[in-house]
Amino acid sequence: MKGLHIDLNDRLAFTKHLFLDNKLEYQRVISQITTFSNIEEVESFIQKMIKPEYDEWKGKEDYEKRFLEVLSKLFE
């Protein structure tokens, strides 16, 4: 597994749109994600633990898709 790099534009967009501008929550989630073994664990964690806290990311599907694309690179 290689390190996770999220560029500034993506990081700002994810924080604003997916985590309601809560930088600490975004950082906490990223820290947890880096401990997982595969993208399936990440997707399960997001579906069960994160999305319910943020109204299932309704209307944010494009950001969610990009977020998962970026995270999947961690496991390539």
Which residue range is the domain that position 32 belongs to?
8-75
Residue 42 placed within a domain: yes
Total number of domains constituting the chain: 1
Confidence of residue 1 (pLDDT cuts 50, 70, 90): very low
Residue 37 placed within a domain: yes
Predicted model pTM: 0.92
Residue 2 placed within a domain: no
| The pLDDT of residue 2 is above 90 | no
Residue 41 placed within a domain: yes
Residue 14 placed within a domain: yes
Residue 3 placed within a domain: no
Instruction: Tell me the C-alpha to C-alpha distance, in Å, between residue 30 and each of 6, 55.
Output: 10, 19
Segment 13-45, tens digit of pLDDT: 999 999 999 999 999 999 999 999 999 999 999
> 14-23 burial, b if ≥16 CB within 10 A, otherwise e?
bbebbbeeee
Q: Give the CA-trace dihedral at 20, 23, 25, 31, to 10 degrees.
A: 140
